[in-house]
Amino acid sequence: MKTILIVDDDPDQLEQLRFHVNNFGYQPVTACSQKEGEGILMKIKPDLAIVDLMMENQDSGFILSYKIKKKYPDVPVIIVTSVTAVTGLNFTLETGSDKRWIKADKYIEKGIRPDQLHREINKLLKV
């Protein structure tokens, strides 16, 4: 069974993602902060990571995804966030400049439907 690390400081969002990932047939491992996520990475290598952008700091998700990619370059990372709705800032992974500094494979705005999340996970895991 493939392991998916989920890191989000919103307990409701964390539980919702954990529930869906489990129902998709994957083993969820959860953390509620960047620091806790980094601790888990010292113990296991996940098959995929889903990381919230704004946790302890506004860029915690970017920092954590960078650390995941540095330690495990082959682990796909999905950044999930509501930053656009909250701040008006818009990030994508469509341009070369964004891809250079955002170390993630997929960027998804929160409010994602379970079927869409399942599709994106399967695509990144090549299932």
Closest alpha carbon to 51 in 16, 20, 6, 19: 6
pLDDT tens digits for range 51-86: 998 888 878 888 999 999 999 999 999 998 875 545
* pLDDT at residue 90 in the model: 56
Asked if 45 and 36 touch (Cβ cutoff 8 Å), the reply is: no
CATH superfamily of 3-125: Response regulator (3.40.50.2300)
**What percent of the chain stands above pLDDT 70?**
83
* pLDDT at residue 1 in the model: 92
pLDDT tens digits for range 20-44: 999 999 999 999 999 999 999 999 9
